[in-house]
Amino acid sequence: MLDIYLGLQSSCRVRRVWLASDGRILGVNALFASELGYPQEELKGKSIFQINPHLNLMEWKKIWKALENSGQTDIESDHITASGKLYPIRMKAVMVDIGPEKVCIGIVKNLMELTRYKDMLELVTGMAKIGSYELDLVSDELVTTEEFYRVLGIEKVSHPLSRDDFRLLIKEHLVPEEMTNLDYKTDLAIREGISTETTFTITTQTKEVKHLKLYVYPLSKEGITYKIYGAIQDITQQRATVQPLELVKFLIDNATEMIYWVKKDGKIRYSNYAFVERMGYTMEEITELHIHDLVPDVVEIGWGNLFDLLQEKKHLVIERNKRCKDGSFFPAQVVANYVEFNGESFICKYVRDLSEIRKTEAELRQAVQEISELKRQLELENSYLQSEIEIEYNFNNIITASESYKSVLQQVQQVAHTNATVLITGETGTGKELLARAIHSNSSRSKKQMIKVNCAALPESLIESELFGHEKGAFTGAVQKKPGRFELAHQSTIFLDEIGEMSLDVQAKLLRVLQEGEFERVGGSETLHCDVRVIAATNRNLEQMIAEGKFRRICITALAFSPSTISHCGNVKKTYPY
């Protein structure tokens, strides 16, 4: 009966051995014999002790008794081949009745590959600092690898743990928020049947702070999770490396300077927020663009040529016009660097918008030109002022033998301390300018130079420009802006000598200054205001000129408002300043 049974099982693809109560080998199948390196018939008649060096008769009797009590048992040991090589095995021993005999059938599993893979796994997880575990939710039993406890930095527990046991074990090393987070991620995986992960910080038994990452992988059947596989990885070093990199990326992304990278094919590889915002694109849009879309000048040069040049030079500073999404352009200074990263070549560009600089440069050029014009004008004005004799004029240094002139001096002295306009009439050579200077020197405006205009010495076409100034281009020869004498006399005194020679048109503008204190330059539209005291003088008969229509009466009224008219300076024979 046994021989028939052995014959039927000899070709089975599972390693099998049949054993008697005394340890004799009753039979083996071909796969079992082949693995040990014996012919099947040679093994028949040997004992289990000859192929298992760790087993003896006494140990076998204990195993047989266990088989009689429970019907089956598991044995982990080693087998030795015909060549003397040991390999680990696990045998499931089952007692069966074959005819009148009780026989132990051993189903053997070679653990060599499993052990090798386990050792390799322990090595790899140790190097990667990854500890793994298995949580059986049915039996509530937690099984872990050696590295699991090393990663956590806590002492290994020899006895089996439940989930609650493990929670109590690590709870003292976590802040409450971290423990709550771990429970939430684990419960989520169990409840939803989905993989979860999270990071947490633990303080080890040696007070070392570690940053760890938890992975949870549930096994479910018919919607019910019955087991969890998980891993805990030490990411402390990675975090120490990644955090500075993340900081660098954050700084580049948010830098005020525009930065972008271009690939060898001309596509945009990266751009920071400043560049994207200035160009008017979104992040998604700009990565679809070619360098030609942003810098049309590159089309003429050829991107390939420029890339090759940068590959050779490594660094270039160039100026290019950038084209924005709306079609507008702006001038830019570009610092271009050739870089290689992860086997790819790029051109890294730092862009500086020159729009404000160009505007400032233009304003500076305009300002320099205006300053040059003003400098020239000041030199001319200074020449004029220097030509005036620096004399202190007052009534005490005018010597006269004329009683009538003494009366004039008294009249002048009365109006000197006021701001009233003064009209001085008299023949040529009777000291009208001398009186005007004396009035100015004894007024509240004496700290500033009196401005003199000889109306008779200026052509009719130029007197308006001389008095009120002109803008650049107001007439032929007006190559620059020029201030008038009224502007120069602001908060001072202007002496209009020979006012009777002034044309009617200029008289009208003079009247506006006398009444309103305002005027416009020739060729200009801006209204200027001035605070000027006017002293006028003439040797002409103004009443006769009014009758002839050559002088405006209202001008005399404005100039000679009583008591500021000083007249009859004629018949003065001996009057001297000293």
- Total count of domains within the chain: 4
Q: Of 110, 133, 161, which residue constitutes the final position of a domain?
A: 110
User: What's the rounded Cα separation, in Å, for the pair 184 and 309?
Assistant: 57
**Are residues 512 and 402 located together in one domain of the fold?**
yes
Torsional sign, CA 195, 197, 203, 206: positive
- Residue 190: per-residue pLDDT: 92
The number of C-alpha atoms within 13 Å of 236 and in the hemisphere containing its C-beta is: 14
**Are residues 119 and 103 located together in one domain of the fold?**
no
Closest CA to 399 of 165, 166, 145, 576: 576
- Residue 257: per-residue pLDDT: 87
Closest CA to 215 of 121, 127, 118, 134: 134
Q: Residue 190 is part of which domain span? A: 115-239
- Residue 568: per-residue pLDDT: 47
- Residue 374: per-residue pLDDT: 83
- Residue 560: per-residue pLDDT: 66
Residue 365 lies in a domain: no
- Residue 120: per-residue pLDDT: 57
Give the tens place of pLDDT for each residue, 154-174.
888 777 788 898 888 888 888
Give the tens place of pLDDT for each residue, 409-423.
778 788 888 888 888
- Residue 101: per-residue pLDDT: 82
Residue 428 lies in a domain: yes
- Residue 386: per-residue pLDDT: 60
Question: pTM to 2 decimals?
Answer: 0.37
- Over the Cα atoms of the chain, what is R_g? 56
User: If you ran DSSP here, which 8-state letter would residue 42 be given?
Assistant: H
- Residue 254: per-residue pLDDT: 84
**Are residues 466 and 483 located together in one domain of the fold?**
yes
- Residue 577: per-residue pLDDT: 43
**Are residues 430 and 501 located together in one domain of the fold?**
yes
- Residue 107: per-residue pLDDT: 92
Residues of the chain with pLDDT under 70: 1-12, 113-128, 241-245, 300, 383-404, 560-578
**Are residues 158 and 265 located together in one domain of the fold?**
no
